C-alpha cells in the first residue's frame, strides 16, 4: 500500500536540563524484515486470532509489523558520531533481564512520557538468530519503534526494536511485548543503507551474561502436556513423573508429554497416563502423570520450603504460544502468600500467566527452587476481561509430602488427601470469605 503523504517529520530528543529538542527528519526508506516476518507467521497463526495494538476490537494490521522506517535526521550528523552500543539478539537467553525504552502515547505530552523505561525479561525467542523476541516488559501504545536493551558492564546495549506494545489472542490480553531484532533489521536494510552511504559496523563479539543463580534450570523441568485438543504445561519431578493440573488432562484422549529441549536433551514426545487426578470438588486442581519412558538427562528440581511475599519469581510454561516456540518465561514478584491455620495453601504472583500455562512451574529467582505449580490466572466473567498479572499457584509444600509417599509406595492413594480438605481451604480457592468461628448463641 502507498504511504500517506506526511508534510513534516519531526524527532523529539530530551535536552538538559529537563527540556525538549525538536529536529526535522526525512524518510530514507521503509524496509521489510524478512526474518521477522517468517518468525511471525510461524508463531502467530491467523487461526489463533492474534491481534496487535492497543484495543481488543481493532489493532495493527499484522502485515505491517515486519516493516520498519529509516529516518535521516541532519541535525544529529556529527563527524565524531558513531553507532550506539549494540548486542546481537542471537546471544539472548530466556529469562534474561531486558530494559525497554519508548514514549507512551506518542506525541501526547512528551514532557512527561518521553523515553519512559520498563523492565522485564526475555520471555521467548523465535526465528533466525532470534529475529523475534517476546518480553514481559510492559509497554504502552506509542512505544512502538522504541528500543530494547540488555545490561552489560559498560552500559546498556540496544538489541531490538519494539514492534507491538500489546498482544491479544482472541479476547485474551497476553501481556507481552513483541520485539524485532535490530540485527535482523540491519541485515534486511543492508542494500538500502549502502545506497545511502551508511556503513554498518559489525556487532562487537560480546555474549550477554546470564546470572548463574543456583545452577537450577527451570526449562529442564517444564513439559508440554497435550490431551486431545487440550494442552497445558507440566512440571517434571522425576524422570518418569510429572505434575500438572486436572483440567489439562480431563479429556478422555491419548496423553502426550513433550519435555522442553535443553543442553543434552533433544525434543521427544512421550506417552503418559494419569495415575491420579483430584475430584472436581477439590480446591486443588492437580493431576499426576506417569511417563512410559524416562526423560533423558533429567535433573530434579530443588523444592522450596519457605515463601517470602515480595520476593522475585518466574513462571515457565507453554502459555499463549504452545508448541510453536517452546516454553515462555515471565517474571514478577510473589504478591501474596495465603495461609490457613498457619499453612500456605495459595500463592499469588504478578507474573504474566496465559491460557496454556496451567501446570507450569513457579520458581524463586533468588534460589532457583520450585515453589509451586500454576493453577489459573484471573478472569472477570462479568466484564469478560482476563488479568494475566494476577494468578494463583498451588504451593509445592502441599504436594511434596504426597509425592514422596507415592514414590516410596507406588500407591496413588498417597494423593487422596487433596480431596479431603477443610472448609477454610475450600473457601480460599473459591475466592470466598472464610467461615468464622461458630456462634455460641
Round to whole Å and give the CA distance between 384 and 426.
Answer: 24
Q: Is 266 a catalytic residue?
A: no
* Catalytic residue chosen out of the listed positions 285, 314, 364, 389: 285
Check residues 106 and 300 and name the one with the higher pLDDT.
300
CATH class of 218-429: mainly beta
Tell me the average pLDDT across 322-328.
84
- % of the chain exceeding 70 in pLDDT: 88
Task: State whether residue 403 is helix, strand or coil.
Answer: helix
In order, the DSSP letters of 324-360 are TT--EEEEEEEEEEEEETTEEEEEEE-S---TT-TTP
Closest CA to 167 of 53, 60, 66: 53
The C-alpha cell at 243 is 505434575
Q: Is 103 a catalytic residue?
A: no
Range 9-75+84-195: architecture per CATH: Beta Barrel (2.40)
Q: How far is CA 240 from CA 105, 132, 221, 246, 297, in A?
A: 50, 33, 12, 18, 12
Q: What is the mean pLDDT of the chain?
A: 87
- At 7-62, the pLDDT tens digits run 688 898 887 777 888 999 999 999 999 999 999 988 887 666 777 875 544 556 77
Report whether 347 contacts 315 (CB < 8 A): no
Q: Is 285 a catalytic residue?
A: yes
Closest CA to 290 of 242, 230, 226: 242
- Contacts of residue 2, Cβ cutoff 8 Å, sequence gap at least 6: none
Closest CA to 348 of 395, 291, 400, 417: 395
Q: Range(s) for CATH 2.40.10.120 in the chain?
A: 218-429
Helix, strand and coil percent figures for the chain, each rounded to 5: 15, 40, 45
* Catalytic residue chosen out of the listed positions 358, 364, 365, 389: 358
Q: Range(s) for CATH 2.40.10.10 in the chain?
A: 9-75+84-195
- At 239-255, the pLDDT tens digits run 999 999 999 998 778 99
Bridge pairing between strands 287-291 and 255-259: unpaired
Residue 81 clears pLDDT 80, i.e. is over it: no
Report whether 62 contacts 42 (CB < 8 A): no
Task: State whether residue 426 is helix, strand or coil.
Answer: helix
* Catalytic residue chosen out of the listed positions 181, 189, 217, 247: 247
Round to whole Å and give the CA distance between 208 and 93.
Answer: 8
DSSP designation for 53: S
Amino acid at each position: 500500500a502507498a504511504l500517506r503523504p506526511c508534510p513534516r517529520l519531526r524527532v523529539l530528543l530530551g535536552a538538559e536540563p529537563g527540556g525538549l529538542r525538536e529536529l526535522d527528519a526525512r524518510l530514507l526508506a521503509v524496509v521489510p524484515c524478512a526474518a521477522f516476518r517468517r518468525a511471525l507467521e510461524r508463531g502467530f497463526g491467523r487461526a489463533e486470532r492474534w491481534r496487535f495494538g492497543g484495543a481488543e476490537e481493532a489493532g495493527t494490521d499484522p502485515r505491517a509489523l515486519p516493516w520498519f522506517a529509516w529516518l535521516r535526521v541532519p541535525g544529529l550528523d556529527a563527524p565524531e558520531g558513531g553507532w550506539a552500543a549494540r548486542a546481537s539478539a542471537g546471544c539472548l537467553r530466556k529469562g534474561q533481564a531486558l530494559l525497554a525504552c519508548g514514549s507512551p502515547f506518542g506525541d501526547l505530552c512528551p514532557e512527561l512520557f518521553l523515553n519512559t523505561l520498563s523492565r522485564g525479561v526475555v520471555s521467548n525467542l523465535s526465528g533466525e538468530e532470534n529475529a523475534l523476541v517476546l518480553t514481559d516488559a510492559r509497554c504502552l501504545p506509542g512505544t512502538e519503534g522504541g528500543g530494547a536493551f540488555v545490561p552489560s558492564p559498560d552500559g546498556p546495549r540496544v538489541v531490538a526494536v519494539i514492534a507491538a506494545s500489546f498482544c491479544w489472542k482472541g479476547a485474551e490480553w497476553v501481556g507481552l511485548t513483541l520485539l524485532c531484532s535490530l540485527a535482523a533489521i540491519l541485515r534486511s536494510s543492508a542494500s538500502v543503507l549502502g545506497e545511502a552511504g551508511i556503513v554498518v559496523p559489525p556487532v562487537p563479539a560480546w555474549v550477554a551474561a546470564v546470572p548463574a543463580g543456583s545452577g537450577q534450570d527451570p526449562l529442564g523441568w517444564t513439559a508440554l502436556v497435550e490431551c486431545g485438543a487440550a494442552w497445558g504445561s507440566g512440571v517434571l519431578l522425576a524422570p518418569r513423573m510429572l505434575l500438572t493440573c486436572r483440567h489439562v488432562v480431563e479429556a478422555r484422549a491419548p496423553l502426550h508429554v513433550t519435555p522442553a529441549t535443553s543442553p543434552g536433551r533433544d525434543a521427544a514426545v512421550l506417552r503418559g497416563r494419569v495415575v491420579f487426578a483430584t475430584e472436581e470438588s477439590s480446591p486443588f486442581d492437580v493431576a499426576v502423570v506417569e511417563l512410559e519412558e524416562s526423560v533423558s538427562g533429567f535433573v530434579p528440581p530443588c523444592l522450596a520450603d519457605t515463601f517470602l511475599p515480595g520476593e522475585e519469581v518466574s513462571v515457565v510454561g507453554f502459555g499463549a504460544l504452545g508448541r510453536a516456540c517452546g516454553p515462555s518465561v515471565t517474571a514478577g514478584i510473589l504478591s501474596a502468600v495465603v495461609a490457613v491455620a498457619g499453612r500456605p495453601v495459595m500463592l499469588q504472583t504478578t507474573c504474566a500467566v496465559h491460557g496454556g500455562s496451567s501446570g507450569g512451574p513457579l520458581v524463586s529467582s533468588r534460589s532457583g527452587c520450585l515453589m509451586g505449580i500454576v493453577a489459573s490466572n484471573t478472569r472477570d466473567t462479568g466484564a469478560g476481561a482476563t488479568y494475566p498479572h494476577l494468578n494463583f499457584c498451588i504451593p509445592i509444600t502441599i504436594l511434596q509430602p504426597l509425592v514422596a509417599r507415592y514414590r516410596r509406595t507406588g500407591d496413588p492413594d498417597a494423593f487422596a488427601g487433596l480431596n479431603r480438605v477443610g472448609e477454610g481451604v475450600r473457601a480460599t480457592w473459591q475466592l470466598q470469605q472464610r467461615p468464622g468461628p461458630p456462634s455460641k448463641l
